[in-house]
Structures are given as structure tokens and as C-alpha cells.
A and B are shown apart, each in its own frame.
Chain A
Amino acid sequence: MRSRVYREIDAIGAERLAELPDRGLDFSFGLLRAIEKALWGELEANYLTVEDEAGHLLAFTPVYTGSNLNLNALLPKAIQRGYNALVNGLGVAVATRVAVVGCLISDRGWIPMRADLQDRAGALRLLLAEIDRVAKAGKAELGMLKDIHGDFPAAERALMRQAGFAEGFSLPTIRVDTAFPSFEDYLEKHLSKNGRKHARKQFRKAEGLYRLSAITDFEPLIPLVYPLFRNVFLKAKYQFEELPPRFFVECARSTEPRTELVICETGEGKIVGSLLIFYDGHEQLNKRIGIDYEVADSGLIYNLLNYTGISRAIERGLPTVWLGQSSYLPKTRLGGELQDQYLLLKAYNPALKPTLPLQRWWMQRYSATSIAAGLEQGVSL
């Protein structure tokens, strides 16, 4: 068992990555390649692997180093403003370089490992040691294991903590159960009475106004839909990474996993909403949503896109859809279930070490339980 570092995902290849069945869509070849091709600014990608003597992958994780990420996105606004003022005043030299471990835009973080791997702990230790090396080589001051999902073995999370990572809650992800024979069944059996009523009302309202369609070869549409994705990003409360148009181009070209774009058009043929979907034989990931906020019905369009995304998964017989880490109120109305995720932080710069307990304390508010309690009172993140 040995660790290796690759600079390009192409050097690993889709076939070898497929040897890790628990990787999920967030660690799929096509998505990681799209991110790599779309990196901008200082950000650099490294792919860390643990391999056996024959070169088979046993464990894998990407690591991105750079400072052009909003690493304080989950912290209080005052800290974010203070940090920005500091960088503005003193320059890029004081910007915190960070090593993000995991898929940069994951909705469900993980450390993919081979199913039949006996020494998981050993592989993880090798990987953690390599993460430290890559982070230090990239002059990172902070290491961040991004959004490790609650289903990831607790014993292995304990190993991460032993390696010096402080664990706090990250934004929960949302999973929707779509194991239903038809969309109508999903509406009837999975949604609450209010949710069902709301869904039907939305469809009635959209009749004759909007047309929804799914497009597989959507590269030519990117100049039309990118501004919609950008609208949503610029309006988002938590802005971690910025994706240029090239990301969507590469997504359109991906075959492993498959991608499609759900678009919402007005009667005149103007595209006012779009939803980027990744899917394979096991699950579906609704990755990015785009909305034209100049249309009065932006809320309706949002719901229509999500319902259509879910119905596409049901049509394909996929039992699970992941909806991402935002807009919890409407997504729970769609039948989504909040699932805990954890952020593990390690300070390579001693000056940052004392801040970690405070960050852990602050991030307690992102536990699924806290957010669900807030939703009951009508407070959504």
C-alpha cells in the first residue's frame, strides 16, 4: 500500500476511479474533471491516492490549494467583512491559503475507499499524511476536510480528529427518496398533505405559462443558461466557490457520469430557469440551479425545476436524489430529509489554531437538528 499524488484527473482515468464504488457522484470522474478544467486564480488541484502494488486504487481524495475561496463562508458576517478588509488593506500576502480536501463543490463529502479494503484505517492514515504534505507544499495555512457526510464511518472520523483535525458541523445535505413507481406515487405517498397540495397548485399555476424540458447535449445553451446560474450564485447566502462558464461546458461533455439540463421556458421560448443534473445507475445529483429573477414567478420556476428533476430520477428508476446544501425550507417541502455533515479543520499556521474551538462552537448551528428546529419556526438558512 502506498500513496501517490496526481496533478490531473486524466492521469488517474475514469476506469480506475470506478474501482471505488462508494465514491458517489460527487467524486465521479466527469465532475472532478469539470472542476479541474474550470479552476481559476491561484487554485490548484492535486489528487491523492492510496494504491496497492498492482496500481489499483484503494482510497482517493482530491485536494485543492489556493486562497481564492470564501473559506469564511460559514462564519459570522463580521468575520467575513473583517477578513476582506484585511486582505484589501494589506494585500494578497495576508490572504489565508487553504487546502480543501474533497470535491470542491460536493454536496455529500466522503473519502472514497475500495469496498474490499481490509486495512481502511491504514489507508486513511496514509492519505492524511499525504494531505499534510500536499498542504504544506502548497503553503496552506488551513486544511479543510470538506463536508464529510454523517454516514462516513465514525471510527474513521475519529482517526481524522487524531490526526489534528477539529470537527464541527457543516451545512447538512438533503436527500430525497425517489424509489417510487411514478411521480404521482411520489406525490401521493412521500409528500405531506400540504406539500402535495402545494405541488399540485404549482403545476396548475404553470400550465400554459412555462414549458419544461430535459436536454442532454446542452453545450450550445450555456451562453443562455450560465447567466441564470450566476444570478443564483450572486444571490446566495453562502458563496464558497465561483464557477466560470467552462465548468458547465465540461459538465455538458461528461459521459461518466451522465449529465442533463432541465430548462424552463416561457411561452415565447425564453429560458428562465435551468437545473444541472448528474446521474448514474444508482443516484442523481441536482447540482446547480439557475433562475431569471427578473421574472415575477421565480419561486414557481424554482419549484417546477426541482419537481421536474425529481420526476426525471423516478422515470429512470433511481432511488435517491441529492439536492444540495441550501434552501432548506422549500427542499424539505419537496420531501427532502436533512442529513448531518461535518467540516474538519486543521491549522498549519499556529496563529489560526486558537480560532478552531471558536469555529467549532459557531458551527453547531449547522447541525441538521438545529436547522430542522429553525425550519419548524419558519427560519430557513
Chain B
Amino acid sequence: MGHRVLLSGAASLTGAEVLAALLAAGEVSSIRLLVAAGAAGEEALRRLTAYLGELPERVSALPSELGRPRFGLSVAAFAELARSIDFGIHCAERTRPDQNLERARRANVWPLEGWLELLARSSELALHHLSTAFVGGTRRGLFTEFDLDCGQGFHHAYERSKFEAERTLRESAVSERVTIYRPSHVLGRATDGTAFELGGAYPLLGTLATGRLMVGDGRARLDLVPADFVGTALVKLALAEARGTFHLVGGWEGSLPIREVADLAAKATGRRRGGRLLPRAASGLLALSGAASPGDLGSRHLARHIAEASLCQGLVCDAYRAEAALAPLGLACPAPRSWLPSAVAAAAERRWSAPPAGELEGAAATPPPTTAASARPTDPIFGAKRFHRIGEVNLAFRDLGSGEPVVFFHGWAGAHSWDGVLERVLPNRRVIVVETLGLGDCEAPASADYSLSAQAARARGLLSALEIPTADIVGNDTGSAIAQIFAARWPQATKSLVLSDFHAEGGFPASQVKRLRRLMRLPGGTRLVTGCLRFAPFARSAQGFRHMVFDRSLLSPEQLEGYLAPLAASRERRQHLKRFALALNKAEVDAVAHLLTALTVPTLIIWGADNHYLSPSWGQKLCDDIPGARRLALVPFAGISCHEERPDRFAALLLDFWAELALEAGVSSAVDSPQPGPTITTKEASWTS
């Protein structure tokens, strides 16, 4: 029997060539393509058929969503998938060289969670991951197949997200079954210049072909490789069961000076000579006008950034391992002078035209949202918001899924900050997200009680109304305070407790909130505060939302709007916010802190390792204070809103914890949870005290 292959991202520049090489390989008996569900997937198949010809019967499509846990498949279907393949090839990626890190991470890092889970299910499975040589980022000098973290920076989100993806794979427990391929700038086929799409390095080539004045260094070298070489090399190495990292590049000898590439590209498009190159130091001048825009492959602004990042001397890729492995297979990277003109001509014939809408982003680029900002309230997985009147408060909540109930309390990041975690928990659990009065959609008159104790009491009332006698309780930030009060007062209703990033003695309320309260007491103060927060630089500052997350690049305009909308979308909300902020009372949390010392409910403490407001030592203190606390787990590279910043890790910790409790209770069947990603368990072990 031949090899059975699972391929993602077939409808991409390199993925299509990988599929072509798989079809040409006699020893492959079946190829399953992970494609987007619905019309997008059908369109991808139609385009693949148009490019490669009628696909044989051994090729089948598997509708899926790469960014979702288990690729969006059911547990049974996922288990069946793990049994029915020999190796996977992951080519889906977002190659657009912009600064949108959130989208880049969703497309380039998140899908690995599913792949790693697949590998964890079958010890025979191997993964072949398409990365890029530009994980080397801004490093100048030699970059070998053994290198990854050399202390480099990154020009754009694509480089950074691919770097993070490789790090995830290297740190995983299944790293010995993962092979990484790093091509340099990929263009069309060496044979005739045709390309499935004008992604990859085409925006760069287009800039060179059409630009008259651009930022760049004529003497620096550009490493270009044809997509068919990458596809064939990848498949041959995969079939030869190669392991490790391979540079599929031209190297120094096989790369061309940028001046020469610009001339070749210009001549192939009918111009006499290539554009003029200005040193990078002069890029400020070009910023006024932008660089040439190659067809509709990108804006003038993007073209300038591409030139700035790529048209200067950076990495020199060493391909020792790839050359040693490919030589016996009779494969070598073709010299660019022989094929580059045809690639340029073919692209020019297509008028440097972008593929149909959505193609550049690829099927993998639309995984589910994780943050409040990107949440899609209409998505069935997030369900409709419901209200339940308790006293004079109309309590907003979401009740989703089925199974053992778990209640989530949120803090200043808002109720939707839990969405990334919910996504991973929902397949096995009934989830109730209770909104905090003052920080969400709850409705109440001015006379309502905004204190944390009252919020906990209302949550208890809601659970009674929903006929939930006992539930797992999870809280973050101020939501963690509510969870603590809930558990301390009603331990019999608390099956287990997960507390994140809040300690009553750690300066409550935070100094930033105290400043807000002082301002809000002034006439028009609340309006002034929310008005300032609408000003993006202020919102991104330390006085705004800067320290909600560790990685400031996550604070995109959409994300900031996600934080702000529940607080300041209307006059009523501003009033709720003011009442909530003024009601925060240290005495009540102090009282609860005392009760916690007698709490024996199984408790897990999760803390953002880079929490600016409360260092992990407060988490350790909480862990020491609560007799039922099992351990403190740190989420690396995450701030106070760690559940939002690293939902994969947070969810894995939750699932692990609940599985552990279920096992102890002798009801392992109660938790039919997907195995937490091996990367997560390995990494966390070292961080868990």
C-alpha cells in the first residue's frame, strides 16, 4: 500500500506544486485535501482542477476549518482522520508581508494546534511543515538550518508568525516527527513561469518589475526559488522520511544581485532597465509618495515596505542539509537566470493581477476569532446573548453547549475576551458566561448594587434559575474576585475553581483604576475618560489598555474598540462603568480573602507570566493561601488578560485540570476532552511550580 497523505493549503502558490508533485509520485495511494467548508472549498477545488487538470480519484477533499480545534471536525471524525493517514503536509499560510500580526498568527500559528493534536493521537504520524527561510528576520549574515532564535527582529508579521510556528513545533513533544522546510522567495514554475496564484514573492517581484524608484541595495542579493522545485523537493524528502530542517534556497551562489533582478524583471516587462534604487536611509522620502504598486497585488504603501524589508542584504542561507539530502535524489535548485525571465513574463501577462478575493488570505486565514474585538456575535458557536432578571438587574449571560457546566466571570477585558477559550472548551462542556454589571451588557437602574458580592450573589441566582446545582467556576481579573467570593460563600455549588490574575492584597483596586475613579467623580469626568480612551495613542498607552496584554502589537484598532465598546458605547454604559468603578471596595475582597483560607474546593491558579499589575508571586501567594489549590500555572508571554492573549494555553490548562479531577473522581468518561496540545503540556510543565 502506498503512502496516505493529508495536505493543507493546496490552493496556494507552493501548495499547488506540492499537490502536483504528490500526484506525480507513484508511491502515494491517497491524498486528502483540507479545504474550507462550503463555497470557498469548492472554489479552491475548481481552481486546482483548472491548474492541474482533472484530479484523480485518489484525491479527496475534507471540508474543515484549520484554525479551530481538531480542524473543526468532530471527535470521532478527527480520530478517524488520525488513523487514515501516514503523514501530513501543512502548506496553508498567510504570506502577505504586512503588519497584521493577529491575522498572521491565526493563519500561520493556530492551525498547528490541530496538527499537533493529530500527531499526539498516532505515534506513526509525521508532519511536514512549510515554513520560510525568513524566520531569520532582520538577522544579517549566515543563517543555517540549525538556527532559529538568533535574537533577530522581524520586518513584518509574516516572518514573525512563521518564527512562532517553528518555535511551537520545536518545543512540542512530537518534534522528532516534524520536518520543516524553509524556502526563500517563492515564484512560479521554473519550466514556464506559470503560477497557481501570484502570492509568495510576487508582490516583491512586481515592485521590482514596475518600480521606477524604490528603496533597496543594488549590490545586495536576492534569493529566489521556483515553486515547482520547492514542491518536488518537499515531496521527495517527505517520501524519503527525512527529518529536521531543510533550506530550499539558492544560497549565496544561487542568488542574484538585486540590481540584476530588477533589470531582468524590467526587461521581461518591456522596459529598458530596472528602477533606480535608493538606500534604505532615504526611505523617509519615498514614504511621501509610496513605491510603485505592482498591479493590484498591494498598495503603494505595502510595496514600499516590501522593498524596505527585502531589497537589502539580510540573511545568507546555508543549505548544507538540504543539498546533502537532495543530491542523492537527483534534485538541485535551478539557477535563477535560467527561469526568472519566464516567471516575470508570465506574471506580467496576468497584469500582476491579484487572484480572486480571499485567495491571498487562503483557506487557513479565516479561523475563528479569539478576542473580543474579532468575535462574531452572529456565529452560532457564540450563541445569542440572553437576559435574566434578578431583582432590579437584568443580568446578561450566554449559555452555550452541553455537558458538565462551567461558569466564566470576566474582568476589564470584557465578556468576549473568553471567546478563544470557549472555542476550545465548548465541544465538551456547557458554558455559562456571566457578564459583570458595569463592564458589559447588563441593565440596571442607578440604585442597583454594583458591589462584587452582589455580582456573585446574582450569578448564584442565575445558576439556580438555570437549575445548575454545581459548576466549575473560572474567573479572570475582577471576574476572579467575583469567582473567589462565589466559591467562598457557596462552596457546595463550586465543583472546582480556576482563578486567574487577581489577588485581594495585591493593591485593589489597581492604581490605574483609582485614578479613573478620581476623574469620574468630577463632573463630566467619565465622559472625559472614555473620550481619551477613544484616542488610539492614549488607549495604547500605559494609562489605557497597554498592560492588558504582553504583546502590544495585539492592540489593533479593532481590539481596542472591543475593549472600549462594552464600557463606553452609550451614555448608559458610561454610567454603569462609573457606578461599577466607584463601587469597588477593598473591604469586601479582604473579607473574602479571609474565607479563602478555609476553602478546600480543588483550585487551579493560572497567571500571566508578564502580568504588569500583579506579578506571578501574587499567584503563588494565592496558591499558598487556598488549602484546595493544586498548583500555579504560568502562561508565558502573557499579561493580565492571559486567557485572551494565549487562549490555546489557557484552555489546555483548564482541560488538563478538569481531566485530572475527573480521573480522581473515577469518572474519566465524563470528560471526553481533546488531548491538550503536547506543546502546551511540555512547556507548562517547566513553568508550573
Contact = CB atoms under 8 A, between A and B. Distances in A.
Interface of A: 40-41, 68, 84, 87-93, 223, 226-227, 230, 234, 242, 244-246, 249
Contacts of A230: 144, 146-147
Contact of A40 (B142, B147, B313, B321): B142
B364 interface: no
Contacts of B318: 40, 244-246
A89 B144 contact: no
Contacts of A226: 144, 146
A91 B146 CA distance: 27
Contacts of B312: 88, 91
B280 interface: yes
Interface centre among A91, A92, A227, A246 (most CB of B within 10 A): A91
Interface in B130-148: 140-142, 144-147
20 contacts: A40-B251, A40-B252, A40-B316, A40-B318, A41-B142, A41-B316, A68-B141, A68-B316, A84-B140, A88-B312, A89-B279, A91-B218, A91-B279, A91-B280, A92-B217, A223-B146, A234-B151, A244-B318, A245-B146, A245-B321
B280 A90 contact: yes
Contacts of B521: none
A92 B313 contact: yes
Given A40-B316, A89-B279, A91-B220, A244 B144 contact: yes
Interface of B: 140-142, 144-147, 150-151, 216-220, 244, 251-252, 279-281, 312-313, 316, 318, 320-321
Given A91-B279, A92-B220, A244-B142, 20 more contacts: A40-B252, A40-B318, A68-B141, A68-B316, A87-B140, A90-B279, A90-B280, A90-B281, A91-B217, A91-B313, A92-B219, A92-B313, A93-B217, A223-B321, A226-B144, A226-B146, A227-B146, A242-B141, A245-B144, A246-B320
A52 B313 CA distance: 44
Interface of B (DSSP majority class): loop
B647 to A, nearest CB: 28
A66 B146 CA distance: 25
A17 B318 CA distance: 30
Contacts, number: 64
Nearest to B318: A244
**Chain A CB within 10 Å — which of B144, B218, B312 has the most?**
B144
Contacts of B313: 87, 91-92
B621 to A, nearest CB: 27
Nearest to A92: B219
A288 to B, nearest CB: 14
B651 to A, nearest CB: 28
A213 B243 CA distance: 26
Most chain A C-beta atoms within 10 Å of own C-beta, residue among B216, B217, B252: B217
B252 A41 contact: yes
Contacts of B218: 91, 93
A68 to B, nearest CB: 7
Contacts of A244: 142, 144, 318, 320
A87 B279 CA distance: 10
B573 to A, nearest CB: 48
Contacts of B144: 226, 230, 244-245
Contacts of B244: 223
Contacts of B220: 91-92
A89 B142 contact: no
A242 B318 CA distance: 11
A234 B252 contact: no
B413 to A, nearest CB: 34
Contacts of A223: 146, 244, 321
A249 B324 CA distance: 11
A89 B280 contact: yes
Contacts of A91: 216-220, 279-280, 312-313
A249 B216 CA distance: 36
Contacts of B316: 40-41, 68
B243 to A, nearest CB: 10
A68 B244 CA distance: 28
A163 to B, nearest CB: 30
B217 A245 contact: no
A223 B142 CA distance: 17
B276 to A, nearest CB: 13
Contacts of A242: 141-142
A323 B680 CA distance: 42
Nearest to A227: B146
A92 B259 CA distance: 12
Q: 9 tightest CB-CB pairs across the interface, nearest first?
A: A91-B217, A89-B281, A242-B142, A245-B320, A92-B219, A227-B146, A90-B279, A244-B318, A92-B313
Most A Cβ at <10 Å: residue of B141, B146, B147, B313: B146
Contacts of B281: 89-90
Contacts of A234: 150-151
Nearest to A248: B320
B219 A93 contact: yes
A179 B316 CA distance: 44
Q: Among B150, B218, B219, B244, which residue has the most Cβ atoms of chain A within 10 A?
A: B219
